[in-house]
Chains A and B, each alone.
Chain A
Amino acid sequence: MRAAFRTGAVATLAAAALIMTGCSADTGSEGTADDPIELTYWAWAPNLDKVVDLWNDEHPEIQVTVNKQDGGDPAITKLLTAIKAGSGAPDLIQAEYQKIPTLVSSDALADLSDAGASDLADQFSDGTWDSVTLGGDAVYAIPQDTGPMMFFYRDDIFQQLGLSVPTTWDEYAAVARALHAADPSKYLGTFSANDAGWFAGLAQQAKSEWWSIDGEAWGVGIDEEPTQRVAEYWGGLVQEGVIDNKPMYTPEWNAGLNDGTQVGWLGAVWGPGVLSGNAADTAGLWKAATLPTWGGDASNGNWGGSSTAVTSQSKNVEAAVEFATWLNTDPDAVQALVTETGIYPASTDAAASSLTEAPEFFSNQADFYDVAADAAASVAPFQYGPNVNVAFSAYNDEFAKAAEAKTVDAFLAAVTAMQQVTVDDLESSGFTVAD
């Protein structure tokens, strides 16, 4: 019978493991060196754990553990699932700005205004601060980095073909035509249907208002003039065949960066990391400029950038805010963020003092961070809504079709479809949508 008992035990083990809840919540709000507050932090920025080590060394009473995530989307997906399940969320999470309204509407984030975060407003630009407050009194996250868009180009090829750096979109189109005419294998850029954040940045530059808060209702303005203008512009270039229509970040695109068929890239301030990772041998051949403008109107968009948020499941909001404030505003911490993770800090003062030397990949351009500062200074305000993921996946699907169809009409139809999908989703979820 002993053997039988053993079998039974095996079976009940599984059941017992399920029934036992791993609940061991910190009850005390004050941590001590002997009994520190333990915080978990989901983040994807590389080497962030090294920056956090600095904090842990100085603060034995609050110990932070970084759990490295795969990137912005998977981390948020997991957080939302954990919120639904009622447990399993970390204390802190690295959240991209466009995810904040979604997270707030899923009740995933704690309001940090009572924990002293409101005092930080003057450390950040108004546009950045708005995206963590959603324009209200609550503070849902502390800004970490921003991604002002920039134009990267192969200086060697530009000189070889006698091309000048475009400052307006008209000039960009002219350069694209001249380049492609000089060598049909070369493109000044590609229209990537896979990068909704990239297109959102371009729409932001054109001063689109994809979402807006209109009293107690959400407004959706994707299918309006600014975005239509951007789509028409790119649809025209793709239709002409002077701009590539393949997605970015594919092996094919990487090959293009290496062999000089992709001569330019509309990226963002974090671009040097991407370029050096994908095409290390082309170091020193690239230069950075501010994004071409619409008829000289100095305006820019963001692509990427993230904040540090505290989740609604955290039992130590105050300690978490203390840590997040240090991480994103303390000069030493920001300096470490810049050197270790390669981000462009959101904190304006800290950015000025920590960004002195150009990134290694751009060692040929000493004024890299001056250009970046110009790019950051002109970022237009942009409001994200509670269903950014829906709009972004609609972008992927609709613009993939358009990029394949290669017609202006298809690009405009894609904008209309994006608007439709976004509004339908808001309405079917029960949000009030303004007409």
Chain B
Amino acid sequence: MTATVEAAPRGGARRTSPKPAKRGPGAARRHLTPWMMLAPGIILFALFMAAPILYTFVLSFQSEVVQGLGLGSGARTREFVGFDNYLASLSDPEFLASVGRVLLYGLILVPTMLGLALLFALLLDARRTGAKGFSRVSIFLPYAVPAVISSLLWGFLYLPAVSPFYWIFERLGWDVPSMLSPGLVVFAIANIGLWGGVGFNMIVMYTSLKAVPSEIYEAARIDGASEVQIAWRIKVPIIMPALVMTALFSMIATLQVFAEPTTLRPLTNSLSTSWSPLMLVYRDAFTRDDIYSAAATSVIIALATFAISFIFLRVVQRRAFGQED
């Protein structure tokens, strides 16, 4: 796939552009056609993404103020408060703590997940590995399980009283601390993310590997390179763009972790209602009924995601989104 893509678009965009001029009335239509084709996408985007985002911005600069006892109608008024909500969010120790936890979670999850996904993808691509079809489907399977459900399953497997693992540990006489104890709960959540995500990333990398013509490896083999050397020196560099993209999307997903800790929270004393930044947003918006603070925190999270993605791509390489236009 990689090879084909390199060739196609070059011809694609370039060659069409000089032609329309010659075709008179067709040219105007040709100019309109892409916009007509984009219209459904743009309209849907405007209605269901751009408008809500703008609305979030508007809300983030407002606040609702109550008078006296605040009972009865008309006790609440909405007012413009400038950057107050932003300042409150940024100086809120709970918010900062949740950011810290999520960074730790990402540091655990992203390298583990991508490392294992790469290992599995390389093994699937290696000639001498067996049981490929079965393994590929099995490892990919968890991707089909919604996070709410997978967290419930793992919750059962984490709780010593109902977990088969702890049953075995107990028989073996091992004293294994609960996965949901305060020190380990971040690993427990990362494990759910790993379980659900490793297969997807493996498939992404595997697809990239499949696209590499095998003649490249043959030459290396003739030169005496081992399979491990081929994997590290040839395969990994070739699929580097795929690694960059999976890393980027994994990082974005990490910052947005919400369903797993929310589902596990009632099972343990180790998770607070503000464990991750999005849980904090949810709590502010729904439990505390303060959509204005929630909006400001949302904007901060979105901007941070933006900045991190941007910096990541700049640092890693310019190949990723670069030179699109």
* Per-position 1/0 for B159-202, Cβ under 8 A of A: 11110000000000000000001100000000000000000000
Cβ-based interface call for B221 (8 A)? no
Given contacts A250-B267, A393-B283, contact A7 B40 (CB under 8 A): yes
Complex Cα distance A87/B66, Å? 22
Task: Output the least CB separation between B7 and chain A (Å).
Answer: 30
Given contacts A8-B36, A247-B266, A404-B269, contact A397 B274 (CB under 8 A): yes
Q: Are A252 and B70 in contact (CB under 8 A)?
A: no
How would you classify the secondary structure of chain A's contact residues: helix, strand, loop or mixed? helix
Q: Are B75 and A252 in contact (CB under 8 A)?
A: no
Cβ-based interface call for B146 (8 A)? no
Q: Are B66 and A105 in contact (CB under 8 A)?
A: yes
Q: Are A14 and B47 in contact (CB under 8 A)?
A: yes
Task: Output the least CB separation between A365 and chain B (Å).
Answer: 28
Complex Cα distance A122/B93, Å? 49
Cβ-based interface call for B286 (8 A)? yes
Number of interface residues of B (CB under 8 A): 44
Kindly list chain B residues whose C-beta atoms are within 8 Å of the C-beta of A255.
161-162
Q: Are B268 and A256 in contact (CB under 8 A)?
A: no
Kindly list chain B residues whose C-beta atoms are within 8 Å of the C-beta of A372.
none
Cβ-based interface call for A107 (8 A)? yes
- Contact among A10, A400, A425, A430 for B65, CB-based, below 8 A: A430
Complex Cα distance A256/B70, Å? 44
Task: Output the least CB separation between A42 and chain B (Å).
Answer: 16
Kindly list chain B residues whose C-beta atoms are within 8 Å of the C-beta of A102.
289
Complex Cα distance A431/B64, Å? 11
- Contact among B76, B159, B270, B273 for A404, CB-based, below 8 A: B270
Cβ-based interface call for A27 (8 A)? no
Q: Which of A158-166, A210-218, A277-285, A337-345 contacts B (4 or more CB under 8 A)?
A: A210-218
Cβ-based interface call for A15 (8 A)? yes
- Smallest CB-CB separation from A192: which chain B residue? B269
Given contacts A252-B160, A430-B65, A432-B68, contact A107 B75 (CB under 8 A): yes
Cβ-based interface call for B44 (8 A)? yes
Residues of A212-264 at the interface with B, using a CB-CB cut-off of 8 Å, are 213, 216-218, 245-247, 249-252, 255-256
Residues of A381-402 at the interface with B, using a CB-CB cut-off of 8 Å, are 386-387, 389-390, 392-393, 396-397, 400-401
Size range of the chain A interface in the assembly: 35 or more
Given contacts A107-B76, A218-B69, A312-B73, contact A246 B269 (CB under 8 A): yes
Max chain B Cβ within 10 angstroms of own Cβ: one of A12, A15, A105, A193? A105
Q: Are A105 and B75 in contact (CB under 8 A)?
A: yes
Kindly list chain B residues whose C-beta atoms are within 8 Å of the C-beta of A245.
269
Complex Cα distance A218/B66, Å? 12
Q: Are A256 and B161 in contact (CB under 8 A)?
A: yes
Q: Are A107 and B74 in contact (CB under 8 A)?
A: yes
Cβ-based interface call for A429 (8 A)? yes
Complex Cα distance A312/B72, Å? 11
Given contacts A107-B76, A429-B65, contact A251 B162 (CB under 8 A): yes
Q: Can you list 13 A-B contacts with CB-CB less than 8 angstroms, sorted by A residue number? A: A11-B44, A14-B47, A15-B47, A104-B71, A105-B71, A194-B269, A217-B69, A247-B268, A251-B159, A393-B288, A397-B274, A404-B269, A429-B66
Residues of B within 8 A of A (CB): 36-37, 39-40, 43-44, 47, 64-76, 155-156, 159-162, 181-182, 266-274, 283, 286-291
Given contacts A14-B44, A102-B289, A389-B287, could you give 6 more A-B pairs where the C-beta distance is less than 8 Å? A106-B76, A193-B269, A255-B162, A396-B272, A403-B269, A429-B66
